Amino acid sequence: MAEEHNIPKTYDPASVEKKWYQFWEKNKYFHAEPDPDRKPFTIVIPPPNITGQLHMGHALDNTLQDILIRWHRMMGDNTIWFPGYDHAGLATQIKVEEEIKKNEGLTRYDLGREEFVKRVWAWKEQYSNRIIDQLKCLGISCDWDRIRFTLDEGCSRAVREVFVSLYERGLIYRGTRITNWCVNCNTALSDIEVEHKDDAGHLWYIKYPIIGHEGEYLTIATTRPETIPGDTAVAVNPKDERYGKLVGEKILLPIMNRVIPIIADDYVDTEFGTGAVKITPAHDPNDYEMSLRQNLEAIVVIDKDGIMTKESGPYEGQERYECRKNIVKDLDELGLLVKIEDCPHSVGHCQRCGEPIEALISTQWFVKMEPLLKAATDCVKDGRTQFVPERFTKNYLGWMENMHDWCISRQIWWGHRIPVWYCDDCGAEIASRTDLDKCPKCGGHVHQDEDALDTWFSSALWPFSIMGWPEKTDILKQFYPTSVLVTGYDIIFFWVARMLIMGMEFMKDIPFDRVFIHGLVRDEQGRKMSKSLGNGIDPLQVIEQYGCDTLRFMLITGNTPGNDMRFYWSRLEATRNFANKIWNASRFALMNLEGYQADAKRAPYELADKWILSRMQDVAADVTALLDKFELGEAGRTVYDFIWGEICDWYIELIKPRLYGKAGEEARATAQQVLVTVLTGAMKLLHPYMPFITEEIYQALPHDTESIMISAWPKADPALQDKAAEKGMEAIMNAIRSIREMRSQVNVNPGKKVPAILLVSGELTEVFRENAAYIHLLANVDDMELLPLTAGKPENAMASVNAGVEVYLPLKALIDVEVETARLNKELAGLQKEMQRVSGKLQNQGFLAKAPKEVVEKEQVKAEEFAAKIKTIEERLAYLKTI
């Protein structure tokens, strides 16, 4: 029997993890089918990009999801976690374009659309499983039989259905307006794909000559001199008394020598610059809106590649920032440049490549958002969908109130192509759920729109498109709405909002009950991990060195909902120590299960048994409640404290005499039975966090299910809750801690037995009398005297006072006064010598004048520390003289 329950001496995560993951997959433990008789629990994975590689953000996000999934699976729910990955239109296209250019020196235009898309599909087949394999290394228990891809047939059909449906209702339209444009990626972007950063820019003050007022100028301030050729007006605020008389006058545009009007508009900020601003409708969204109000012309002077157009006159063909330098130089030579000021200001950058964004007028496809917002707002306001932590609700609602129409077309080839065809004969525009080869109106030749949809358009449908919608599948019927979405706060607006909008519009129901928001994983200095900083940490390398369980547990227990966390290697080491502690304690337990039989005749429970079983019920209830509130970090810490601080440090130590057979076979059987019960229960509570080590230990323990992951989650049993036992045991443990601490203070050899006097309150007297053996065993006490609290306090004894118990250790029995006095005097002499040396330095004016400030401060700290130690020893010596 002993051999059957044994495990290796050291824990090897690599072999254990590979073995059990294969076992779980083989037995289909991750798989679920619709079952109307069981409560569903559903999560859809935030689909990682096919370009992706597992990073710490993925590790945190997916571990949080896996904990919830494994917990609900053990709770008996019909649990399913839908996996998948995203085609990542722009990101993937850039990646493949770079590879083709590097290997073949070709562009996508050299290949043509059809061939290029074939190349991307081939790249996808080669690399798409990479991140899935990496997620498996993290122990992720998705239902891999149901893996989906945003460009697969089912998801593509859903995209077509949504697009055409919205188009038919006038909620998708094609229009020409100013949009965010990346000159590097050569595509339009939505507002949320633009990251605003504070750039160290400048403010140029430039004189514009006023027509009909010889020698008079209107000075404007601008952060973008390169757009001057596109100015079609200068605007002032109508309430600005400085310029009231000039409104309606004409002004000469410098360099271009074009006459433009001076206009009044409430938008102008009187505090910015001079209070007079240039208006360039084709290259600024606010100027564009003003041009619509004021009926101004929009002149495009920067093209889609960031090159100046012929409308920029002498600057045609120049790169935009080259043009900026040249215009400033020319204005200076003309005497029109007044001054240049430093002016840090927020500049939009492409979220994908980091290039500064241009505001350009272009023809794009848009979703009309205003009619779609109410339902997606109301469902959060009335609590049908709840954000955890709740503070993110305000962020979400605030953003929804200010949402503009969504630009969904992208000038790329990889992705869902816009399902609209144009007739070359009759000019018809047709949105179609199926591909067209001729015009349905006139039978003429048609061609499809060249653009592709924004990647987030297909991702917005993810919670229902992966379940077979628009078909009314059994999967959709049972598992939608999903139970919880786990995601970072940085994509609430990219993704969460769009899923709520589309779910409410097409499913007429919320896509998820809860949105569990987590923060970012930062480095030890609090910086965001990035390639540019070189501070990224590869989770797979961490797993290779420390094991998957260690990484998972460290990430979660260092995390509070919604907040960023820092990655500390020291915490990783501490977590590995925890794994080793679990392993060694379990190995000890298993080595002492020889002859164990579940139905063996047992002696009655001792106090330690009642205590640990009662604590097991408390911990099970607490962990369940914490998980239910998404306090995953606190739940993990609770399990940690129970295993290390109560099972390992106390219970196992207390039952060793019984396990060794010193109290008889029936007492041994009781200790074995309780140990198996609490160790198995603890492994179940820990399993969602550390799935591999818990499975390995569970399989070695007596067990009644094939795998720990399909065993029943521990639930509190009122019959085993014993508060009296907990109170009594806690009092004894406090007494033992006190004795240990006092022994340590006077350097008593750990192997030396000492006498103790305990003054105990009446209600605890019987507990201490019946369980004195615990104190003898764990505090190494020989003679122990139990007295009532009213008894006189012993003289010349160290004391420690706890609730209901006062502990005294007679000093003469602990130490040899002469030996201890000699030792302390020697230590005191050494400290006084060091103190004299440091004091000499601090009194030396030459040292104080020449030494760096931090060196002087370091010496001052030393002096304070030495003084405190000297005082303590002197007090100790004075006390020894009284004995």
317-349 residue pLDDT tens? 999 999 999 999 999 999 999 999 988 777 888
Q: Which amino acid is at 556?
A: I
Sort residue 794 into left (φ over 0), alpha (ψ -120 to 50) or beta: beta
At which residue do the structure tokens 């030459």 appear?
846
403 φ, ψ (degrees, to nearest 5): -80, 130
Cis peptide before 481 (omega within 30 of 0): yes
Give the side-chain half-sphere CA count within 13 A for 750: 1
* Helix/strand/coil for 324: helix
Helix ranges restricted to H, 174-294 = 285-294
Q: Above 70 in pLDDT, residue 709? A: yes
- Give pLDDT, residue 677: 97
Give the Cα separation of 139 and 763 in Å (integer).
50
Sort residue 775 into left (φ over 0), alpha (ψ -120 to 50) or beta: alpha
Confidence of residue 2 (pLDDT cuts 50, 70, 90): very low
Report whether 118 belongs to an annotated binding site.
no
Pairing of strands 217-222, 202-209: antiparallel
- Give pLDDT, residue 532: 65
Helix axes 762-770, 723-745, angle to 10 degrees: 80
Give the Cα separation of 642 and 644 in Å (integer).
6
* Range list of β-strands (E), 111-199: 148-149, 172-182, 187-189, 194-199
67 or 186: whose pLDDT is higher?
A: 67
Give the Cα separation of 672 and 450 in Å (integer).
72
Are 39 and 75 a contacting pair, CB within 8 Å? Answer: no
6-56 residue pLDDT tens? 788 889 999 899 999 999 999 999 999 999 999 999 999 999 888 777 888
- Give pLDDT, residue 531: 67
At which residue do the structure tokens 């440049």 appear?
337
769-807 residue pLDDT tens? 999 999 999 999 999 999 998 888 888 888 888 888 999
For the ranges 181-190, 241-250, 447-456, 568-577, which has the lowest average pLDDT? Answer: 181-190
Question: Which secondary-structure segment (H or E) carries 797?
Answer: strand 797-802
Averaged over 57-84, what is the pLDDT?
96
At which residue do the structure tokens 């076992």 appear?
23
Give the Cα separation of 316 and 321 in Å (integer).
13
**CB neighbours (10 Å) of residue 656?**
14
User: How buried is residue 552: exposed, middle or buried, by Cβ count under 10 Å (0-12/13-18/19+)?
Assistant: buried
- Give pLDDT, residue 5: 58
* Helix/strand/coil for 74: helix
- Give pLDDT, residue 558: 76
- Give pLDDT, residue 1: 34
Both tokens assigned to 368: 């009309």
Give the Cα separation of 589 and 6 in Å (integer).
9
- Give pLDDT, residue 797: 84
Name the residue among 244, 252, 240 with its Cα closest to residue 278: 252
Averaged over 498-511, what is the pLDDT?
97
Averaged over 81-86, what is the pLDDT?
95
Q: Which amino acid is at 876?
A: R
Distance between alpha carbon 386 and the CA centroid of its chain, in Å? Answer: 18
806-825 residue pLDDT tens? 999 988 777 777 887 888 89
State the first-to-last Cα distance of the chain, in angstroms, to the nearest integer: 56
Q: Above 90 in pLDDT, residue 713? A: yes
User: How buried is residue 506: exposed, middle or buried, by Cβ count under 10 Å (0-12/13-18/19+)?
Assistant: buried
Are 461 and 449 a contacting pair, CB within 8 Å? Answer: no
Residues in the chain: 883
Q: Above 50 in pLDDT, residue 450? A: yes
288 or 4: whose pLDDT is higher?
A: 288
Give the Cα separation of 554 and 37 in Å (integer).
37
Residue 721 contacts by C-beta under 8 Å, 6 or more apart in sequence?
Answer: 614, 617, 618
Are 262 and 236 a contacting pair, CB within 8 Å? Answer: yes
- Output the average pLDDT for the chain: 92
277-312 residue pLDDT tens? 999 999 998 999 999 999 999 999 999 999 999 999
Structural domains of the chain in order of their starting residue, each with its CATH number: 19-160+458-528 (3.40.50.620), 201-343 (3.90.740.10), 542-711 (1.10.730.10), 725-811 (3.30.2320), 818-880 (1.10.287)
Are 754 and 809 a contacting pair, CB within 8 Å? Answer: yes
**CB neighbours (10 Å) of residue 325?**
13
Considering the chain, what percentage of its residues have pLDDT values greater than 70? Answer: 99
